Amino acid sequence: MFRHQLCLASLIAFATGSITVTHISARESQPASSSIQQEVRSYLRNLGISTDRANALPIYCTAKHCTTTGNGIWINERQLATHPPCLRSFYLAHEAAHYALGHYRSITTIGQEQEADIAAARMFCRYGQRAVVEEYANYLQYTVIPQEGSKGRVDKMHPTFSDELRYLQRILAE
């Protein structure tokens, strides 16, 4: 069973993408905290981005939503602070994976969201942090799906919760 008590509404809003994508510019944003920047840059390197390129990529703090563009990665630190460390790490790695996969070059699709999830999950498993993926899968299975339903997505840019759980479980079985 999922071990943590969470701010469920906040995590579901994040997981469902119910925050709509709007234009974010670097002028509106402050740099993310050094710990967030360090964690995201570590994931970028683990996902195949060179150290120089990872260190040069701006990582900003925003009050809007987490997103990745060709100009940087925006992280809603206040929202992520309500999550347990494993879930926070998965979301940061997911955004890093969007950048590593070049998803900032086009409008995000369901396929790109799935690719970013899979790349993040495989990275964690490859680097001995399988627990991050297990905890996120448990959260989907025991908290989100029972409360929101297997198709409980607000937008059409993300896979259903049951689809997301299914491909994460496949990765965990590899």
The pLDDT of residue 1 is 30
* Tens of pLDDT, residue by residue, the chain (174 residues): 333 333 333 333 344 443 333 344 444 569 999 999 999 999 999 999 999 999 999 999 988 878 888 889 999 999 999 888 888 999 999 999 999 999 988 888 899 999 999 999 999 999 999 999 999 999 989 988 888 766 666 677 888 888 999 999 999 999
Give the 3-state secondary structure of residue 30.
strand
Of 134, 145, 143, which is closest to residue 173 (Cα–Cα)? Answer: 134
The pLDDT of residue 156 is 78
Give the 3-state secondary structure of residue 139.
helix
The pLDDT of residue 57 is 95
DSSP symbols for 58-115: -EEE-SS--EEETTEEEE-HHHHTTS-HHHHHHHHHHHHHHHHTTGGGS---HHHHHH
Instruction: Indicate the pTM of the whole model.
Output: 0.82
Domain assignments of the chain as residue spans, ordered by start? 11-173
Instruction: Report CA-CA distances (Å) from 53 to 42, 49, 58.
Output: 12, 6, 10
DSSP H or E segment with residue 16? helix 8-16
